[in-house]
Structure 1
């Protein structure tokens, strides 16, 4: 939670209401100067080369490991999430990402020769080089205040850019903590900076930077894109999701229940990749529902008191409790039933916690099956055939990820080919986020562009094609002055070359 006092943000714990820190608000009017300073610092950072930048990131990784408890405590204080959620989904990701980008960035971006297959390229050399955009504005949300800024900042930095992070005004402390970590690791001043504040600060940042990487809701992402269009600033959008888990009768039901509960309730369900819809094959529906209920009943909820204290923490954003409650109440009014939990939670008027809830007998048109809930809610429905479940899973405006629980790999591949989502996993939701060799893409309203992999760093670059001249004589019959004879010769040559399909012409 946050309140504003003068030009400072006062941050309170969503779990306890206690003040946990303060942050200076950035002045939107000063944003052009902030970005200019970052651009100047970025020139020296780029000049350090991959070797110099790698040394800084590996030093930051060592310091992050040494200061792990401090990082976790900062995250827990401003989000109200359990210690283990901060450790597994934020600290661990940060350590992996620092090492990954330090070691892989150069290979993704080094200038490479490109084979030219066109006959017009005969005798020419060609290569593609990647240059940094300049200053990247990273606008990050409140649900993962350490992992998500790093997910975009690290590849941008290793590409040679400077980065200005605009964290959520609810959770700026983790980004400020990262800024201090990088400074201690030897990153030059101004290369990574934090601009705390509200939507006005974000708008000013978008106007000033060379590229924007935004993570957040689809509605806000559309506003970011609209603002960036005024200056033709490139954007990458990682937006909302309504990820489905499909459980077939031949699946390991215990494993599937464990993972649906964990990845549905992780971070109180406040994860874009959360399991938010569960489709269960008819013959095992009732048994699987009982397995889910047994596991959810064991979950402890409350203010995090250190390692091992609770599984479910607080709702980090004001209003999120209301959205979850509305989804549950609307479903119940339309005929769904509560298996575990129910609407709301805590004392009357308390909006810090929503009880973990499992709903059965839900219909596809209910809000809990169509809109992003972003809370500790698992709506469960049944299906009969592959064709039916594929149609129903795809009847959604989001397309971030989906998981198929089955022992039949051929079935999984069939569904993976048909599901309209950026990632389709077998028997393991969400885990692909840590597989940074692979791009993570959002389809439909779930985003624009890629995160991770070579795609996830090249987006922070300007590609340059470098074409060499032919060796030796270079006849150019197409140049001025035109002549009837040369035109006929060229046309005859074109007909002779292209009137019959060439062997291998179907290859790219």
Structure 2
């Protein structure tokens, strides 16, 4: 990615744009605008004008627009796949996963939004609200700003816009400046499907563009690094607007001695290397019980040696694509170098692959421990450290010895034991005999603990977060005056105290309190 700017005579920025390159080839595949703060403010203003009309539509009507969008994605899937592969450098198979997510998300939120956002009747045991009808309702926030990452141009960018739109909000999306082209295709989709004007908009640009969106939106959905997430949360806090953050992860996988080793190896390999290991939910560290450690590592090593890496030239042409974000190459190299320097062994890979393009060899590390950076900090690349543990207790302790808590996995044939261990892991999501598949379960919340974020995507809370909660109480049988009202009547308040004592005091006396 390169930025170019021309200046007006008074030094102001004009016609700023960003060149987007293909990480697998280095070739420039497009140019996008580097939107200014004023551009963002204008987009948000347009969205704010469009939002009330969108919110007034019934959930059924909004679902119809989603149906059009789903059909458009399926009809134009090859165009979208090509766009993702070109700007991200991933394999076609990994790009297909994004298409599947997109059409599934449209279908899910179209069907479930009405249920998730329905009014909720409230019942109270208090005698002081007898006769009242009480309920809560969900109200759209207004304009949701979505700031997407570079690793999944469709899933974590437009994918987060779908439930926000289903809740009746307008959305302004700022995709990563490294992968903005797919987001622009989604904007094209809304136009060609006849969506209301300005309900969904894309503003492209670098960090300053995202900052301007945080400064103007009514809600911010951010996916990215913990460092940037802190800044987003701080600014949202200053403005007193809500935000949801999916941040870094150092996701762990435990292989118990009773596990099917074939299943364990397959889950581990895919969890670590799909999308080139560039997923917040990638398996980034593995703990294996000692009795099966040697056999597991031997099988995993053979599988790592079979994995291919390179530019995608169609289905089946390669397994692991390019490194999308240039600085990430240095991070991966540093983590491997630090591990080797502290005594780890590289069984497979370990080096930057020759160009053109940005590639790092799929790398398997053993003899690792928690003094090494690769076991404590997010790597976000096609590397995997595997550590021997004496037992499950040690594995749980080491999994929890992390500032992150996004996702974890357990491989075991004993479901009772695995569930018990899962409940002790400090992670927002735990999968048993799987890794990452929960991301396609739209009814299941997905969010991080600790420094892995705030809030969730998916599930009921994944759409309710895009709303304000309003409580309504209706006195259906109002009298002229209630007992507690001014001017105070001593006899009325003595009656209130007798009622309180009757309802609550006698219960305490019966319990001996």
Range class of TM-score, shorter chain: over 0.9
- Work out which of the residue numbers 68, 80, 84 in structure 1 matches 2:89: 80
Question: Is the CA contact (8 Å cut-off) linking 1:145 and 1:167 kept in structure 2?
Answer: yes
Taking the aligned partners of 2:281 and 2:480, their CA distance within structure 1 comes to: 56
Question: Is the CA contact (8 Å cut-off) linking 1:3 and 1:11 kept in structure 2?
Answer: no
Taking the aligned partners of 1:230 and 1:501, their CA distance within structure 2 comes to: 46
| Residue of structure 2 equivalent to 1:165 | 173
User: In the TM superposition, what is the alpha-carbon distance from 1:119 to its structure 2 partner?
Assistant: 2.9
1:227 aligns with 2:224: no
Could you tell which deviates more after superposition, 212-221 or 378-387?
A: 378-387
Taking the aligned partners of 1:118 and 1:419, their CA distance within structure 2 comes to: 39
1:405 aligns with 2:411: yes
Question: Is the CA contact (8 Å cut-off) linking 1:141 and 1:167 kept in structure 2?
Answer: yes
| Residue of structure 1 equivalent to 2:119 | 111
| Residue of structure 1 equivalent to 2:104 | 96
Taking the aligned partners of 1:461 and 1:374, their CA distance within structure 2 comes to: 32
User: In the TM superposition, what is the alpha-carbon distance from 1:34 to its structure 2 partner?
Assistant: 1.5
- Work out which of the residue numbers 473, 492, 496 in structure 2 matches 1:490: 496
| Residue of structure 2 equivalent to 1:154 | 162
| Residue of structure 2 equivalent to 1:387 | 393
User: In the TM superposition, what is the alpha-carbon distance from 1:490 to its structure 2 partner?
Assistant: 2.3
Could you say what secondary structure the match of 1:107 adopts? helix
1:425 aligns with 2:431: yes
Taking the aligned partners of 1:452 and 1:474, their CA distance within structure 2 comes to: 48
Taking the aligned partners of 1:200 and 1:150, their CA distance within structure 2 comes to: 20
In the TM superposition, 1:281-430 aligns within 5 A as 281-346=289-354, 352-430=358-436
Give unpaired runs (5+ residues) of structure 2. Answer: 7-15
Question: Is the CA contact (8 Å cut-off) linking 1:322 and 1:351 kept in structure 2?
Answer: no
Taking the aligned partners of 1:374 and 1:501, their CA distance within structure 2 comes to: 58
Taking the aligned partners of 1:2 and 1:91, their CA distance within structure 2 comes to: 28
In the TM superposition, 1:129-148 aligns within 5 A as 129-148=137-156
Taking the aligned partners of 1:259 and 1:80, their CA distance within structure 2 comes to: 23
TM-score (norm 1): 0.96
1:174 aligns with 2:182: yes
Taking the aligned partners of 1:351 and 1:396, their CA distance within structure 2 comes to: 33
| Residue of structure 1 equivalent to 2:53 | 44
Could you say what secondary structure the match of 1:125 adopts? strand
Number of corresponding residues: 501
Question: Is the CA contact (8 Å cut-off) linking 1:149 and 1:175 kept in structure 2?
Answer: yes
| Residue of structure 2 equivalent to 1:32 | 41
User: In the TM superposition, what is the alpha-carbon distance from 1:29 to its structure 2 partner?
Assistant: 2.1
User: In the TM superposition, what is the alpha-carbon distance from 1:492 to its structure 2 partner?
Assistant: 2.8
- Work out which of the residue numbers 187, 198, 209 in structure 2 matches 1:190: 198
1:467 aligns with 2:476: no
Structure 1's consecutive aligned runs of 4 or more residues displaced over 6 angstroms after TM superposition are: none
| Residue of structure 2 equivalent to 1:237 | 245
Summarize deviations over 1:151-185 as a string: whole Å, max 9, x none.
21000001111100001110100100111012111
Question: Is the CA contact (8 Å cut-off) linking 1:270 and 1:374 kept in structure 2?
Answer: yes
| Residue of structure 2 equivalent to 1:4 | 4
| Residue of structure 2 equivalent to 1:256 | 264
1:455 aligns with 2:461: yes
Question: Is the CA contact (8 Å cut-off) linking 2:25 and 2:357 kept in structure 1?
Answer: no
Taking the aligned partners of 2:487 and 2:475, their CA distance within structure 1 comes to: 22
Taking the aligned partners of 1:472 and 1:190, their CA distance within structure 2 comes to: 45
Question: Is the CA contact (8 Å cut-off) linking 1:133 and 1:161 kept in structure 2?
Answer: yes
Give unpaired runs (5+ residues) of structure 1. Answer: none
